[in-house]
Amino acid sequence: MDFELDRDLLDVQERARELASAVAPIAAEVDSRSQLDGRIRDQLAESQLARLTVPAEFGGATAQVDPLAICIVREQLAGECNQLDALFALQGIGSYSITLAGSSEQRETWLPRVASLDAIAALAITEPHAGSDVRSMTSTAHTDVDEWTIQGDKAFISNVGVADFYATLVRERDHLSLFLVAADAPRLSFTASPELIAPHVLGDLTLAGVPITAANRIGEAGRGLEYVGATLSVFRASVGAAAVGVAQRALDIAVAHVRTRRQFGKPLAEQPAVGALLADSWAEIEMARLLVYQAAWLARGDPIGALARTSMAKFAATEIAGRVVDRCVQVMGRFGLIRNSPIERLYRQARPMRIYEGATEVLRGVVARALIKEAGLGL
Ligand SMILES: Cc1cc2nc3c(=O)[nH]c(=O)nc-3n(C[C@H](O)[C@H](O)[C@H](O)COP(=O)(O)OP(=O)(O)OC[C@H]3O[C@@H](n4cnc5c(N)ncnc54)[C@H](O)[C@@H]3O)c2cc1C
């Protein structure tokens, strides 16, 4: 067993750290708005880290998208700038179905542009009435008529308004299929989603009879949910990695504060109760990091087979991040509550992570089912 990252991954980590430091001076300003900041896009493009989100054959950095490399980058970026982390991750999340099942034309047209950030990707699943229960979606591709169209509404979709294409999951007869909808498609319109506690580039899509052809379909008819599942199996652990980055940054800030802040004649750090909160946080961060790295490593070889592990890593790490930032705010007292201070931003940033890409309770169900199935098979 080797707990060291190899040279290539250490190099990726260092480049991600440098990128995070480069955006640090503008991070608070960027994360106070839900519009994409051009400087973030430019810095990410310049770093070439988005090349990790597509395979080498189409301008990517590694032969196949490497879940562990994605985790290592997100851990560094998320602790500094929410928008930077999201932009990086969504290049992969929005394009992976094309990597996996797209036609040669789709791959050649879009993947090199995703890698270089000339094009921004998005994945549109959620609808006003269909969140965790994806199968209840009502957006429909009408492909049994002469002119094919998509009709429906998508809500809370990352990168709406700035994306160049949307991998869009819709009902097609009795199954769900994925279609590639270009941002300039006729009868496709955008509205902003409500502003979140941690602003995010987010919006709603209205597909009012958007014209499509067979060339828009990603992979085979009726296999859309499978492609989305494959996407999540590669990227789910990386939400856990982003959560580790957020928690680590919060702990670093809290430690710096309690070492210098004096009450009752000594630094807060010397109050045993404060030390206990910090020790619990450190231990939980280390647990989360190991779990995330292990899950991502397993997903490298067999993403679908590792789904229980990546789901576990996602919910455990995001729940830990929630607890850690809360403790960090607590030990900083009133200074932890100042709006737009680094610690307050992390406190808000940690919260949505427990909901998107599989809410904790939904993922616990995935893990419990895998546990019971494994036990049953062992009998
Ligand atoms: C910042 C952000 C970015 C997003 N980006 C995208 C995007 O790019 N593309 C996209 O398609 N969607 C996106 N979403 C939507 C996201 O995927 C949904 O919020 C998520 O799927 C949960 O759905 P919901 O919010 O409708 O919650 P609901 O499905 O209404 O669930 C609410 C709560 O009920 C509980 N619950 C639900 N189902 C179960 C169950 N089976 N068992 C136990 N408990 C359950 C959980 O506690 C859950 O948190 C984004 C959301 C956010 C906040």
Rounded to an integer, the average pLDDT of 249-272 is: 98
Q: Are 207 and 179 in contact (CB under 8 A)?
A: no
**3 state SS of 372:** helix
Q: Residues 62-112: pLDDT tens digits?
A: 999 999 999 999 999 999 999 999 999 999 999 999 999 999 999 999 999
State which ligand 1 atom lies nearest to the alpha carbon of 198. Answer: 1
- CB atoms under 10 Å from CB of 198, counted, come to 20
Residue 377 scores a pLDDT above 80: no
Nearest CA to ligand 1 atom 13: 157
Q: Are 232 and 89 in contact (CB under 8 A)?
A: no
Phi-psi region of 45 (alpha: psi -120 to 50; beta: other; left: phi over 0): alpha
Q: Residues 193-210: pLDDT tens digits?
A: 999 999 999 999 999 999
Ligand 1 pocket, Cβ-based, cut-off 6 angstroms: 123-126, 131-132, 156-158, 196, 200, 202, 352, 355-356, 359, 361-362, 365
Rounded to the nearest angstrom, the distance between the alpha carbon of 155 and the centre of ligand 1 is 11
Q: How far apart are CA 25 and CA 338, in angstroms?
A: 18
- CB atoms under 10 Å from CB of 323, counted, come to 15
Which tokens in the block code for residue 306? 């590792």
What residue ranges in the chain does DSSP mark as E strands? 121-124, 140-142, 149-158, 165-172, 175-182, 188-192, 202-211, 217-218, 262-263, 266-267
Which tokens in the block code for residue 13? 């980590």
Which tokens in the block code for residue 143? 């492909």
Which tokens in the block code for residue 52? 């990790």
Residue 115 scores a pLDDT above 60: yes
Q: How far apart are CA 346 and CA 285, in angstroms?
A: 15
> What stretch of H or E contains 325?
helix 307-331
Rounded to the nearest angstrom, the distance between the alpha carbon of 352 and the centre of ligand 1 is 9
Candidate of 36, 97, 123, 132 to mutate for ligand 1, largest count of ligand atoms within 8 Å of Cβ? 132
> Residue 179 has what DSSP assignment?
E
Q: Residues 361-374: pLDDT tens digits?
A: 999 999 999 999 98
Rounded to the nearest angstrom, the distance between the alpha carbon of 356 and the centre of ligand 1 is 5
Q: Residues 146-190: pLDDT tens digits?
A: 999 999 999 999 999 999 999 999 999 999 999 999 999 999 999
State which ligand 1 atom lies nearest to the alpha carbon of 130. Answer: 26
